[in-house]
Amino acid sequence: MIPLSWYILVSAALFSIGIYGALARRNALAILMAIELMLNAVNLNLVAFWRYLTPNVVAGKVFVLVVFAVAASEVAVGLALIISIYRRRHTIAVEEIDMMKW
Angstrom distance (rounded) from CA 57 to CA 39: 22
**Shortest Å, Cβ 48 to another protein:** 6
Helices (H) and strands (E) in the chain, counts: 3, 0
**Shortest Å, Cβ 99 to another protein:** 15
Helix 4-24 with 28-52: angle, nearest 10 deg: 170
Nearest residue (CB) to another protein, 69 versus 99: 69
Nearest residue (CB) to another protein, 72 versus 99: 72
Angstrom distance (rounded) from CA 4 to CA 102: 48
**Shortest Å, Cβ 38 to another protein:** 10
Nearest residue (CB) to another protein, 3 versus 99: 3
